[in-house]
Chain A
Amino acid sequence: MTAGTAGERTAPTPEPVAVPGPPLPAGRPARPVRRREARVGLLFVAPMLLLFVVFRFGPTIGAAFLSLTDYRLSGDWRFIGAENYARLLQDDLFWSSLGVTALYTVFFVPLTVALSLGTALLLHRTVWARGFFRGVFFLPYVTSIVLAAVIWKWIYDVEDGLLNAALGVLSLGPVDFLGDERLVLPAIAATSAWKGFGYSMLILLAGLQSIPREVTEAAVIDGATGWRRLRWVTLPLLRPVLFFVLVIEAIGAFQVFDAMYVMTAGGPVRASYSLVYFLYDSGFKFFDFGYASALGLVLFLVVLVFSLIQRRLIGRDD
C-alpha cells in the first residue's frame, strides 16, 4: 500500500492554463469548445476520481467518524462521542506503545540520516566505481521490510546467528539482541536503517550535486578544507534537503509495524509494541474498530505535526 509521505516537497506551483485549440473565427462564442473540453477532461479523470472518492476520501472521513463510535466486528454501533479518546488517555498500553514508537524513532532517524549522509558524502567525493557502490547501497531499498526482518532475525539469533558467531570469535557474548528489552529497539532500528537508507542517500546525493561548484571552490581558495569545509559550507547549503530527509524518515519511523510483527511480535514484554502494532491488534485481534480508529487519528496528528515542523523549518530557509 502506498502510505506515501512525499507530498510536502512535491507541491507544484500553479501553472498558467494553456488556452486550447486553434483561434476561433471572430464573433463566434468560445463556449461550446470549452464545454466539450471540460467534458473530456472530466471523463479522463473519472476512473481515478471514482477510486479516490471511494477509497481515499471515504475512508479518511470514515476514520474520523468511526473513532467517535464503538463500532465492532458484529456491525453494531453507538455514537459515543470522545469516549474512545478518553479511554486512550487512561490506557497504559497506549502510552507504552507511544513511548516505544518515540524511542524507536530516536534510534532509527539519526542512524538512517548518519548512514545516508555518510555514504552520500563518500559517493559525492569519489569518481571510482561510483555507480556500482550507489547500486550496492540502494539494493536493500528495493526489497521488502519483511525480507529484511526475516534475514536479520537470524543474524541476531542467540544460538547460531551470524552476529553472535562474530562476537564469539572476539570472545564476547552471546548477546540476545531481540530478547533484551534495552537492545530490541536499537536492533530493529538497525535492520530498518539497513533496508531503507539508500533512498535518503540518493536524495542527499542529488542535493550535494546541486551545490554550485563555485561555492566550494571559493571555500577552498579561502583555505577551508576537509572537515571545516563540510561544517561551514556543505552542510549549511544542504540544510533544506537534510531537513526533508529527516522529516520523511521520522514520519516513516512512526508508522513502524512490519519489522516488529515479524522479528519480535512486539516483545519482549511489549518492549517493541509500537503504536501501529497496537492499532493492528485493537482492530484485528480484538475487533475494537472504533478504538483502533481513534489510534489511527493519533497517528495522523503526529504525522501532521512532523509535516508542519518541516514546512516551517524549510520555509525559513527560502
Chain B
Amino acid sequence: MARVRLPVLLALVALVTMTPFVVMVLVAFAPPGGKTLPGAFDLTRATWENFSAVLSGAEIGRWAANSLVYSLVSVVLILLFSSMAGYAFAKKRFPGREVLFWAFLATLMVPFQATLIPYFVLVSRLGGVDTYWGLIVPTLANSQAVFLMRQFIMQLPDELFEAAKIDGASEWRIYTTVVIPLITPVLATLGVFVFLWHWNDFLWPLVIGQSSEMRTLTVGLATLEGENVAVNQIMAGATITVLPCLLVFGLLQRYLTDSIATTGLKN
C-alpha cells in the first residue's frame, strides 16, 4: 500500500518546495501591480518591465559585479592557498604540523558572529571598510577547505611524489604538475561550494560594504526590500540574484549532492 503512495507523496513535497521559486518568477514577470493571484498568474500578460525598471533604478549591475568579484576572487585564492596548505599537511613533515592542523580545525568551533566585532575592528583599523580587499581577504582563512584538501591529498600514493623528485622536479613544479592535476575533481567541488557560500553571504558584506556602491547582490536585495520598492521589482531582483545559483546547480546537481553526502561540506 505504501508503494503506491510514495511517488504521490514525493510529488506533493516537491510541489511545495518549488512553489516559492515559481511564484517569484511569476510575480517578476507580471505587469506592475499584478502581485495578487489572478494578475500574477496570467501568463499572456508577462512582461520584462519589472526587470528593466529594477535594472535602471537601482545599482543592481554594480552589486552583481561586486558579488562576482567577491565570489570569484575568493574561489581562486581559497583553492590556491588551501591546496598548498593541504599538500604540506598531508605529505610534508615540519615542526608543529599536528598542532597547527588542529588549531586550524579548532576554529570551526567558533561561530563567525561571535568574532564579528573584533573582525570588523581589525579590518576597519587596517582601512578595509568599503574596499574589495576588506571584503575578500578576511574570508580566505577557511578551515574546511584546508581539511578537505589534506584528506584528499593524503590518499595519493607517495611514490608519485618520489618519482617526480628523482626526476629532479622542484617542489613548486611537483605541486603544479603532479598535485594540482590529481586533485582537480576535489578542487572543482570545493570551488563550486566556495562560490555559492560567497555569492549568498550576507552578514560580512553587510557590515563591511557601507556605501551603496560596495554592496553585494544579497545585501542590495535586502536594502531594496527595505526601501518600499514594488513587489514585482523586488521579485525581478530576486530572480536576477538566484540565477547564477540555479545555473551552477543545474550544471552540477549530481556532483553537488553527492559531495555533500560524502564529505558533509557546510557553510
Contacts and interface: CB of A to CB of B under 8 A. Distances in A.
Interface of A: 1-12, 14-15, 17-18, 20-22, 34, 37-45, 47-49, 51-52, 54-60, 62-63, 66, 71, 118-119, 122-123, 125-126, 128-129, 131, 133-140, 142-155, 160, 162, 165, 194, 199, 202-203, 205-206, 226, 248, 251, 255, 257-258, 261-262, 276, 279-280, 283-284, 289, 292-293, 296-297, 299-300, 303-304, 307
Contacts of B256: 138, 142
Contacts of B93: 17, 20, 34, 37-38, 41
Nearest to A14: B98
A9 B122 CA distance: 31
Of the listed residues B24, B118, B158, the one surrounded by the most CB atoms of chain A closer than 10 A to its CB is B118
**Interchain residue pairs A-B with the least CB separation, the first 5:** A7-B108, A41-B92, A62-B118, A144-B200, A3-B112
Nearest to B219: A146
A296 B117 contact: yes
A234 to B, nearest CB: 14
Contact of B113 (A8, A15, A154, A279): A279
Contact of B139 (A1, A39, A43, A261): A1
B180 interface: no
Interface of B: 2, 6-7, 9-10, 13-14, 17-21, 23-24, 27, 35-37, 80-82, 84-85, 87-89, 91-95, 97-98, 100, 103-122, 137-144, 146-147, 151, 154, 158, 161-162, 165-166, 171, 175, 196-197, 199-204, 207, 218-219, 221-222, 225, 231, 234-235, 238, 241-242, 245-246, 248-249, 253-254, 256-257, 260-262, 264-267
B117 A139 contact: no
A208 to B, nearest CB: 10
Instruction: Tell me whether chain A's interface is mostly helix, strand or loop, or mixed.
Output: helix
Contacts of B200: 142-147
A248 B37 contact: no
B121 A150 contact: no
A167 B26 CA distance: 20
B241 to A, nearest CB: 6
A282 to B, nearest CB: 9
Contacts of A296: 113-117
B115 A45 contact: no
Which one of A126, A142, A148 has the greatest number of beta carbons of chain B within 10 Å?
Answer: A142
Contacts of B262: 206
